[in-house]
């Protein structure tokens, strides 16, 4: 009986060892927010990029209260303006290198309320995908099952020992009194 369990566990571990381990690749969200523009305003946000990749910017005017006239976006670095500027919103993808970048967006909410709403989202996808290792799920599953079977085997063995002891030693102790006589 033990040989059968050992063979099953060995087979499962061998299969787990032969399975390929994948990795996840994900973009990093640098900025994702909605905000208000009151009158004529400009905003700046800085962020640091460590590897070359693609920066995707989505800027839009949210139709609530007043519309925003002249909604513009541009990206700068220490060396000056970087990439094309966006006028009126939309989505743009820019190839960037490592360094500190500054995102600028401006607008003018001129209407009866003098307040407009914008939505801005910036995501960065590394050029060479950064591998995020995933745990070997099958290995974790098999180790958990192995622990489960081991605990069940110990409980069954403990039950068998308790049953044998109960059979061997009667509750009234008659066997002990007969042996001492």
Mean pLDDT of 49-53: 85
C-beta separation of 107 from 40 below 8 A: yes
Tell me the C-alpha distance between 119 and 60, whole Å. 5
Tell me the C-alpha distance between 57 and 168, whole Å. 80
- Give the residue, 178 or 140, on which the prediction is more confident: 140
- ∠ Cα 140 146 150 (to 5°): 150
Note whether residue 32 is domain-resident. Answer: yes
For the cut 70, the answer to whether the pLDDT of residue 57 exceeds it is yes
Note whether residue 91 is domain-resident. Answer: yes
Note whether residue 84 is domain-resident. Answer: yes
Tell me the C-alpha distance between 89 and 72, whole Å. 7
Phi, psi of 2 (to 5 degrees): -70, -35
| pLDDT score for 3 | 62
| pLDDT score for 1 | 47
Domains of the chain: total: 1
CATH label of the domain that carries residue 39? 2.60.120.380
Domain region containing 50? 25-128
| pLDDT score for 80 | 83
Note whether residue 135 is domain-resident. Answer: no
């Amino acid at each position: 009986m033990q040989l059968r369990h050992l063979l099953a566990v060995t087979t499962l571990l061998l299969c787990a060892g032969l399975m390929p381990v994948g990795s996840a690749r994900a973009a990093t969200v640098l900025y994702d927010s909605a905000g208000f523009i009151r009158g004529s305003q400009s905003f700046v946000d800085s962020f640091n990029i460590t590897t070359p990749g693609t920066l995707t910017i989505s800027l839009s005017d949210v139709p609530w209260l007043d519309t925003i006239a002249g909604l513009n976006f541009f990206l700068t670095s220490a060396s000056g303006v970087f990439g094309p500027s966006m006028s009126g919103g939309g989505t743009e993808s820019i190839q960037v290198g490592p360094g500190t970048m500054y995102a600028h967006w401006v607008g003018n909410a001129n209407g009866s309320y003098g307040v407009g709403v914008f939505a801005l989202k910036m995501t960065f996808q590394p050029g060479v995908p950064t591998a995020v290792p995933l745990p070997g799920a099958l290995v974790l599953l098999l180790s958990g099952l192995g622990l489960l079977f081991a605990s069940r085997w110990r409980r069954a063995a403990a039950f068998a020992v308790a049953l044998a002891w109960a059979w061997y030693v009667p509750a009234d102790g008659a066997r002990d009194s007969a042996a001492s006589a």
